[in-house]
């Protein structure tokens, strides 16, 4: 059994991750930390969990007895914690995304297998990268429009999202830097938040260096993502298709009149493929398990 702990287990991503780990056939969760809820029973604070764990403050002596620790803490808080850990680490924050193994299993499976610390990608970055990566050598420039449910902003509301859609960062979103590291082309990215609780959609407008056909692009994507949680689908995918699943669905594939532009749509559950389930995928690979272990779900 893999002995695991979650630091920051009471937030949206942390509690979603904890639920997955408690159901995982090869994992025994031995620590769930939350400074604000220390001493309280996990089952009484998080609905849908039935376990005997209590929230506790981080104890590094105890954490270093584990096989893996997940860091589901605010950005800027993970790096000093990781420096004190001797076990394997999966960091769901942005702290290590530019300097450590980048945790998209569809692209970096082999590197993840041998990594001691894996940086889980951001939710927007995951959807945008998966929507374009198989074509990155053909892309001249791109525009990525992202829209997410408000759970992506954490438990403290920052916006008046009820019955609303907000373009909350026109340029300079922090996920842009990790996307730049994955792409070799210029792009623009703007994120939006809507009144849905969860789910995330990326609409990618890709300007290409040469003419392409929609069917050839779909075939290329299908081969690239074969055997992964990213699936090419018919038509235009919507977020309801992937809610409560670890999948990314990619569709659209409409070619512009010039023949050198294509529009591709990707959808994920921002709390799962955009955070918790992708973290479990990474853990599975780090410990020699099938990437899908403990994440079986409808297609």
Can you tell me whether residue 296 is helix, strand or coil? coil
Closest by Cα among 44, 88, 30, 59 to 282: 88
CA distance 126 to 106: 10
CA distance 179 to 52: 40
CA distance 284 to 294: 9
Closest by Cα among 64, 12, 54 to 33: 54
17: number of Cβ within 10 Å: 31
Tell whether the torsion through CA atoms of 283, 287, 290 and 296 is positive or negative.
negative
The residues annotated with a catalytic role in the active site are 123
Cβ contacts of residue 6 below 8 Å, gap of 6+? 14, 17, 18, 21, 29, 31, 32, 33, 69, 70, 72
CA distances 126 to 132, 170, 210, 224, 267, Å, are 10, 18, 26, 15, 10
């Amino acid at each position: 059994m893999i002995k695991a702990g979650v630091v920051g287990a009471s937030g949206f991503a942390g509690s979603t991750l904890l639920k997955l780990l408690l159901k995982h056939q090869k994992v025994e969760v031995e620590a769930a930390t939350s400074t604000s809820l220390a001493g309280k029973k996990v089952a009484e604070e998080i609905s849908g969990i039935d376990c005997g764990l209590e929230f506790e403050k981080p104890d590094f002596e105890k954490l270093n007895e584990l096989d893996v620790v997940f860091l589901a803490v605010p950005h800027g808080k993970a790096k000093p914690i990781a420096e004190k850990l001797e076990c394997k680490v999966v960091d769901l924050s942005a702290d290590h995304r530019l300097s450590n193994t980048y945790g998209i299993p569809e692209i970096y499976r082999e590197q993840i297998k041998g990594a001691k610390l894996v940086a889980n990608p951001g939710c927007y970055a995951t959807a945008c990268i998966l929507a374009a990566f198989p074509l990155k050598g053909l892309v001249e420039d791109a525009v990525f429009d992202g829209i997410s449910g408000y759970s992506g902003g954490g438990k403290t509301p920052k916006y008046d999202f009820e019955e609303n859609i907000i373009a909350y960062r026109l340029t300079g979103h922090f996920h842009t830097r990790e996307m730049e590291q994955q792409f070799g082309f210029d792009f623009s990215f703007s994120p939006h938040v809507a009144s849905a609780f969860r789910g995330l959609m990326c609409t990618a407008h890709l300007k290409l260096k040469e003419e392409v056909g929609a069917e050839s692009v779909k075939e290329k994507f299908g081969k690239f993502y074969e055997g992964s949680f990213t699936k090419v689908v018919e038509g235009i995918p919507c977020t309801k298709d992937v809610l409560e699943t670890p999948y990314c669905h990619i569709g659209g594939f409409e070619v512009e009149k010039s023949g050198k532009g294509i529009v591709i749509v990707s959808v994920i559950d921002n709390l799962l493929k955009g955070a918790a389930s992708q973290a479990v995928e990474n853990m599975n690979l780090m410990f020699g398990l099938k990437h899908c272990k403990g994440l079986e779900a409808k297609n």
